[in-house]
Amino acid sequence: MAGAELPGMVVTGVSGRMGRMLVETLAADGRARLVGAIVREGHPWVGRDLGEAMGGAANGVTVTGDAVAAIARAQGILDFTTPEASLGFAELAAQARAVHVIGTTGFTAEQIERLKPAARHAPIIRAGNMSLGVNLLVGLTRRVAAVLGEDWDIEVVEAHHRMKVDAPSGTALMLGEAAAEGRGRPLAELRVPAREGMTGARQPGSIGFAAIRGGDVVGEHDVIFASPGERLVLRHIATDRAIFARGAVAAALWGQDKGPGSYDMADVLGLG
């Protein structure tokens, strides 16, 4: 981007673990500049220099609870917050014609529908997981499910840290969607969210989910294909949360010359 001003990025939920990681990743990447840092109104960081609030040197970015003013001057929004908060940020990003990268998970189908009007005015890049490895795993899962018949049972098992609030994870649902697509059916028809008690025998073609929560696990996902006499396990293990931040920054940069619409990381990585 030599000869042109670097695109300005705003980080939402900047006081959180992912928010801080996004700030650090932007600084290390050098292809964009941080122009805004948003927290909720009344947060103790409001009005403070972001660098100092994060325990380091001043960086000249003042933390704000005024999302309207912050997003109005941005070319990209990096957003790992909550579904309802992301819906509000989507409206503001659409007004600013800014790329909205959404790493937030836990959306309902109705909430995803509510993102569509904003995508008619600006690019929205939403993914349950921003890492290259996971998105390759999604593609592999789709392909394997298409090749193997329904005599191969599919289970998605995920593990995360004790503080994660949604289950199954957004990544697990991405993998389940991919498996269902491989079989040519909607996930809603095949999904078994959890098992407890006398559940009866497994239904042919169903896709089961299991969630583990504990400690500081960054993220582990297995897609298990099991048939009589053999199993195939596709696995991704994340050991550093920075992979998600790097993916989000790459997505925001990729989206700078894209028209309005709904995109995902397969588009960003050219895996579609």
Q: DSSP of 228-248, one letter per residue? A: TTEEEEEEEEE--THHHHHHH
Of 100, 160, 221, 236, catalytic = 160
Reported pTM: 0.81
- Report the pLDDT value the prediction gives residue 4, as an integer from 0 to 100: 67
| Ramachandran assignment for 187, one of left (phi > 0), alpha (psi -120 to 50 degrees), beta (any other) | alpha
**CB-based contact 170:214 (threshold 8 Å):** no
Mean pLDDT over all residues of the chain? 95
pLDDT digits (tens, 9 = 90+) for 219-253: 999 999 999 999 999 999 999 989 999 999 999 99
Q: Is 52 helix (H, G, I), strand (E, B) or coil?
A: helix
- Residues 77/100, Cβ–Cβ less than 8 Å: yes
For residue range 162-188, list pLDDT tens digits in order.
999 889 998 999 999 999 999 999 999
What pLDDT shows up at residue 269? 87
100 catalytic per annotation: no
Quote the distance between the C-alpha of residue 12 and its chain's center. Answer: 14
Q: What are the chain's domains?
A: 8-126+241-269 (3.40.50.720), 132-238 (3.30.360.10)
Is 160 among the catalytic positions?
yes
The Cα–Cα gap between 161 and 42 comes to: 28
Q: How close are the terminal C-alpha atoms of the chain, in Å?
A: 26
* Strand ranges inside 7-110, DSSP E: 8-11, 33-38, 63-64, 76-79, 99-102
Strands of the sheet containing 33-38, edge to edge, are 63-64, 33-38, 8-11, 76-79, 99-102, 123-126, 261-263
Question: Which of these, 139, 85, 76, 110, lies nearest to 269 by C-alpha position?
Answer: 139
Q: Which amino acid is at 35?
A: V
Over the stretch 259-271, which tens digit does the pLDDT of each residue have?
999 999 989 988 7
From the candidates 43, 121, 161, 164, give the one annotated as an active-site residue: 164
Average pLDDT in the 118-134 region? 94
Confidence of residue 78 (pLDDT cuts 50, 70, 90): very high
